[in-house]
Amino acid sequence: MFVGLQRVGDWLLRLGREEDSFLRSALVRTLVDDTWLALSTIALTQIGWAMVIATTGNFLFLLFMPIDLALWVGRRRLRHRIVLPRSAEIETAGATLALLNVGWSVLVATQVILLLQAGNLRALVLGMMLSVGERSYTSTLYAGFPRLTRACAAISTLAQMIGLWLAFNPQLVPMVPMAVALSLAFLLLGRRAHATLLEAVKARQIAHRQSRLDPLTGLGNRLAKLERLEAICEAAGAGERFGSLLYIDLDGFKLVNDRFGHAVGDRVLVEVGRRLSACLRKHDIACRTGGDEFAVLVTAMDEFSLRHLASTIVSSVQEPIAITEQTSVNVGASVGIATTSPETTSPACLMETADAALYDAKRSGKGRFVIAS
């Protein structure tokens, strides 16, 4: 049952053709409201239940107050899991939060129905205030996810219709087209907010990616390397999986650069970057960290596969690189490798170990790799 509910929550957060893991994660974080807004919503709904009890005289509705409070507490706890910079559970937490938000909308809808059916002016005004407040909240806070917004809108509109129908008061008939018009207005507001938010998040996504790319080779840069390295060490420290860092230094690149110039040197670096990327699996990354220095970060690779990868990198880089139809140049690669272990789970320690292994590889003759023991 829980898996089924998680799938429903996941469906509510799907973006269709715009689906993208970075985009979705960024939008999930927009579901988190600030502390004062969260406090005002729980205060409003608790006051609403008090008014329902005062209007109906039925104290059984006291049971809804702790349920409302429990939903609020659950949403606040999920907030802490979502706002973490590299939370691995963000999508699961987001789906659960979406379900809790729908549950909250159902509770508010129940309040609206009970208040509207009471028929007196005070209850009517409060019921419409609750409905408008809930629609304003959901159309803005959930703007990143149209399916979630529409689901909450449908619940709110249905509650208004049921409440007005149960009241059986001819004087409330004009409220029906007003409720429909209000629903349409908030749907349009939600669409506009979604478009604006999506544009802002995409712009942030482009800036995020560009700040982590090496402009010459298109590989990751130092910042991308550090972020992935921190993620690898974090996973290793939690006992989830191990990872490896490969430092690669080109042999003979300075001679090529001095003889043929920087333009040819840049072409060599671009080609080396292309060859490194071709050696990797889809989820591994290569970065250019200096002039002729590269780094490769891989996860869940045993020693045999790691040796095979290092050997492939060395032999691939050593292949001639054509600079004209008649001329080609050769560079080599020395590789130093460090793998996470109980003793090396910090980025600094892993980088230091890989650097020492790279020094050993160059000292032992270049064009080879060394795995730190």
Q: Which residues pair with 245 in a beta bridge?
A: 297, 338
For residue 285, give Cα distances in angstroms to 93, 165, 334.
27, 61, 18
pLDDT of residue 96: 79
pLDDT of residue 171: 63
The whole-angstrom separation of Cα 357 and Cα 340 is: 14
Domain boundary assignment for the chain: 2-210, 222-371
The strand pair at 332-339 and 369-371 is best described as parallel
Sorting pLDDT into bands at 50, 70 and 90, what band is 81? low
Of residues 173 and 99, more confidence is placed in 99
Annotate 180-234 with DSSP letters as a single string.
Answer: HHHHHHHHHHHHHHHHHHHHHHHHHHHHHHHTTB-TTTSSB-HHHHHHHHHHHHH
In which residue are the tokens 């789970």 written?
A: 345
pLDDT of residue 45: 79
Asked if residue 311 has pLDDT above 60, the reply is: yes
Catalytic residue among 292, 302, 355, 360: 292
The 10s digit of each residue's pLDDT in 202-249 is 777 777 778 889 999 999 999 999 988 988 888 777 666 688 999 999
- 292 included as an active-site residue: yes
Using the 8-state DSSP alphabet, how is residue 330 labeled? -
Report CA 93 to chain centroid distance, whole Å. 11
The whole-angstrom separation of Cα 104 and Cα 99 is: 9
Sorting pLDDT into bands at 50, 70 and 90, what band is 85? very low
Question: Which class in CATH covers the domain with range 222-371?
Answer: alpha beta
Average pLDDT over residues 307-336: 92
Average pLDDT, the chain: 80
Report CA 26 to chain centroid distance, whole Å. 5
The strand pair at 321-322 and 328-329 is best described as antiparallel
Is residue 256 within 8 Å of 268, Cβ to Cβ? yes
